[in-house]
Structure 1
């Protein structure tokens, strides 16, 4: 009787082990499929801009003005929108995995579990807060993305907790069909999902000035810049694991450059 029980226990343990390995394998496979899909998308719909200068450490033009600098990549938004009309932009950070289309859905749930093309996906998509006005028209626009364990999607945002990482990546890029922007990063920190960090402001105001001062004071790194309340901003948000419902957020000022979709001279001319 004892031998039989031991055999049952061994078989049960082996079954649990095999099930666990199969689950891990399936998760890794899903990561692979998602990463490959986004890699293929970047290869198909983007290209390095010819002659684009490396602007990783430059501050760019004054807020509200359009500089002569252009985005370092070009994006085929016509092709992307033929796949999904929810496409509103493309976000790019040099030397990181952040190189993705940005979508805006009818709610904040769909793209948590669907890729930019609308297909089921554990990685979801990079998407805009539905309460924000289209066209990045608000003073601050919130953009969400998953923190994937393999480092994809918005996982790299958490790296900004380190001063050295910030100094190596002080600039991101946001490209749209109408206007491209440098994202001048100036604050990053851990917040709760229900934090006042997620307030949306339509335009410049004294309250917005106070908000910018507050969020800069929370930053894990020190940025040599003074936020301008007349400019527009993005808040990039991803999951963190410091406590329940923790998020890591990055604030960046949008500085218009002289391109749209990466094409020089097209800023403000395309619809």
Structure 2
């Protein structure tokens, strides 16, 4: 039985119209998925660019830079110091806010940034007169912010990378790494307020010894000024790592003027790659998978519509 020409033409128009609508929907979804993937990649790059020490090196307090540390302080009066640990990416201005939330998502310029800043606990004085001056910094991949604290998990790195500097109150002083600790966010002993009495200092030193992975306790006295550098750790969300340094009047020579890829750097990056399939990367892969799936479905539907249309026209 032959189908009248007018019915066949109308059916063809309907099939083509539906096919075009579906193609348009698929194309819109594909474009949206690609935009999401592109934004995720851009956002990831922006986060790590903002977290890079190179962004701030022009403000580093040395005589060789045209833009002074004072100018950075003029931009943001919360900036009060600069910390450098030789042979690592830890080379940043330090800030302090009126609470411990302000610089979680603000950079040293005072601008919004997911990488945040390295900041002093608001309970401590920026003159760094306490026994246990507590700092916080995000644990980031590629050694950004306090990500390089992971390197001190290696005993060899802990022993060979002992020194750095801190600039504050208009003066540069040396620092010496004396301990690496593992703790928990719920354990307040290492997050204690300024230890002002001898008893409080002894309690804090005892907590350090209890949580120590490595410690040069013979190098620590109750008269020292300690920098307690705290960050999150890969693993349980409440795990915390602490790198402890003491301030010294003696500045040691920097034997690592440029950060080199040591075995510890390589192991750290491999560990990060295996353990941290972070949200940005996950989002990009999901978006790309959606694009591929939609392209396959689109091709399949077009083939099916073509066969159905051909079969319908032959009836």
TM-score, normalized by the shorter chain, greater than 0.5:
yes
**Distance change >3 Å, CA 219–CA 156, structure 1 → 2:** same
Residue of 140, 152, 162 corresponding to 1:148: 140
**Tell me, what secondary structure is at the counterpart of 2:196?**
coil
**Tell me, what secondary structure is at the counterpart of 2:142?**
coil
**Contact kept in structure 2, 1:234 and 1:252, CA below 8 Å:** yes
Q: How does 1:53-68 map to 2 (within 5 A)?
A: none
**Distance change >3 Å, CA 21–CA 231, structure 1 → 2:** same
Q: How does 1:126-145 map to 2 (within 5 A)?
A: 126-145=118-137
Residue 57 of structure 2 corresponds to which residue in structure 1? 42
Residue 27 of structure 1 pairs with residue 24 of structure 2:
no
Residue 56 of structure 1 corresponds to which residue in structure 2? none
Q: How does 1:118-197 map to 2 (within 5 A)?
A: 118-195=110-187, 196-197=189-190
Q: How does 1:54-133 map to 2 (within 5 A)?
A: 76-133=68-125
Residue 35 of structure 1, CA deviation? 4.1
Task: Please state which structure has a larger fraction of its residues in helix.
Answer: 2
Q: Deviations over 1:139-175 (max 9, x none)?
A: 1111111111232111011221111111121123211
**Contact kept in structure 2, 1:160 and 1:220, CA below 8 Å:** no
Q: Which runs of 5+ in 1 are unaligned?
A: 50-72, 259-271
Identify which range, 10-19 or 176-185, moves more after superposition.
10-19
Q: Deviations over 1:31-50 (max 9, x none)?
A: 343046x414213444478x
Superposed CA RMSD: 3.1
> How many residues in Structure 1 have an aligned counterpart in Structure 2?
230
Residue 117 of structure 1, CA deviation? 0.7
**Contact kept in structure 1, 2:232 and 2:241, CA below 8 Å:** yes
**Contact kept in structure 1, 2:118 and 2:137, CA below 8 Å:** yes
**Contact kept in structure 2, 1:140 and 1:201, CA below 8 Å:** yes
**Contact kept in structure 2, 1:88 and 1:102, CA below 8 Å:** yes
Q: Which runs of 5+ in 2 are unaligned?
A: 1-18, 252-315
**Distance change >3 Å, CA 28–CA 160, structure 1 → 2:** same
Residue 93 of structure 1, CA deviation? 1.0
**Distance change >3 Å, CA 255–CA 45, structure 1 → 2:** closer
Residue 120 of structure 1, CA deviation? 0.8
CA distance in 2, matches of 1:194, 1:15: 45
**Contact kept in structure 2, 1:98 and 1:152, CA below 8 Å:** yes
Residue 16 of structure 1, CA deviation? 8.7
Q: Give the TM-score, by structure 2 length.
A: 0.64
Tell me which structure has the larger Cα radius of gyration: 2
Residue 199 of structure 1 pairs with residue 214 of structure 2:
no
Residue 218 of structure 1, CA deviation? 2.4
**Distance change >3 Å, CA 12–CA 216, structure 1 → 2:** farther
CA distance in 1, matches of 2:97, 2:165: 21
**Contact kept in structure 2, 1:236 and 1:249, CA below 8 Å:** yes
CA distance in 2, matches of 1:41, 1:89: 13
Q: Deviations over 1:191-222 (max 9, x none)?
A: 11232111123435133123213313422225
**Contact kept in structure 2, 1:139 and 1:204, CA below 8 Å:** no
